[in-house]
Structure 1
Amino acid sequence: MTTIKKGLRAVAILEASKGIVSLLVAFGIHALAGHNLRNLAELIVSRLHLNPASHLSSVFIDAASGLTEAKIMIFTIGAMAYSMIRFVEAYGLWRSQVWTEWFALVSGAIYIPFELYEIIFRTSIISIGAFIINIIVVGYMAYVILDKKKVTRIS
């Protein structure tokens, strides 16, 4: 197996992992439908021994209170659609399909400005880690695409 194919498979595994996490989120969100989300949010704040009167806790509780069943359904459908896109991308990368190489490049590059914004205004280890991983994936996909073009020109 070539080095490029190994790299594509690594990116495919990463994309499939994002799809699995998104699918789990979709099921988790869907499971919340029909529950009193305000009570659930208050229970979470209580179990974590947080002050319910603090700003962050009250924002969390208020956000949970505002989730209607229709909004939950929209979030669930969105998370499922995102997971399906990630699974299709992972399959295509695993099979070295050119269109998924371009798709991975573009879909990864789209997030870069948002990740930079997040690092600048809300720096965290997670935002920095996500940015670094994304830069590596985007750079690798650009390398794969350019390498294939170079091989095509030589042939």
Structure 2
Amino acid sequence: MTQPHHYNPDPHAHPGLHIIALVEAVKGALALLAASGLELLGPAPLQRWIHELIARFQLDPNHGAIAWLVGAINPGGVHLAALVAALYGAMHLLEGWGLWRAKAWASWLGCITVALYLPFDVYALAKHPGWLSLVVVAINLLVLWVLARDLVIRRR
């Protein structure tokens, strides 16, 4: 006769949560690093880089996404991008900390964010089928399963 499975609040009992926590912390740290870089560098190097891309690939700087990007790279746009990157980074660091500590709210946050990404991942897989798109969908489904399983076990 098997014993009923009881939730153990010890975060060390959940290696899947620790792996996801580490990935989230790395994503958060990289986003904060990117935000800092944007603030430190400002728009000038980005504008030079975009103009090099336009020249190298003979892109039309007056139409499409490139025209929008050229117009968006200004001090205000760079500050906004840095703010968004910093908020994204802080959220992922907080989620990583919460998952490491096996907090239910962190599993909920992870489930919600992965569920928001999945339609875009599936769309990318449909538009550009290949092993990389398939791996991204598979990893996100695995993460969703681990986090949802954690929440289901907590309810029991």
Question: What is the TM-score when the length of structure 1 is the normalising length?
Answer: 0.77
Whether the 8 Å contact between 1:41 and 1:60 is mirrored in structure 2 is no
User: How far did residue 29 of structure 1 move?
Assistant: 2.5
Whether the 8 Å contact between 2:42 and 2:75 is mirrored in structure 1 is yes
For the structure 1 residues 91 and 131, does the alpha-carbon distance in structure 2 shift closer, same or farther, using more than 3 Å as the test?
A: same
Whether the 8 Å contact between 1:38 and 1:62 is mirrored in structure 2 is no
The answer for unaligned runs of 5 or more in structure 1 is: 151-155
Matched residue, 1:42:
51
Q: Select the residue among 142, 147, 154 that pairs with 2:148.
A: 142
1:96 aligns with 2:105: no
Q: How many residues align?
A: 145
Deviations 1:24-50 (A, max 9, x none): 22123223414164433233566xxx4
Matched residue, 1:22:
31
Q: 1:4-153, aligned counterparts within 5 Å? A: 4-35=13-44, 37-43=46-52, 50-51=56-57, 53-54=58-59, 62-66=67-71, 67-123=73-129, 125-150=131-156
Q: Percent identity, aligned pairs only?
A: 23
| Paired letter, 1:22 | A
The answer for unaligned runs of 5 or more in structure 2 is: 1-9
User: How far did residue 3 of structure 1 move?
Assistant: 7.1
Whether the 8 Å contact between 1:26 and 1:77 is mirrored in structure 2 is yes
Deviations 1:66-86 (A, max 9, x none): 112111111100000000000
Runs of 4+, deviation exceeding 6 Å: none
For the structure 1 residues 18 and 126, does the alpha-carbon distance in structure 2 shift closer, same or farther, using more than 3 Å as the test?
A: farther
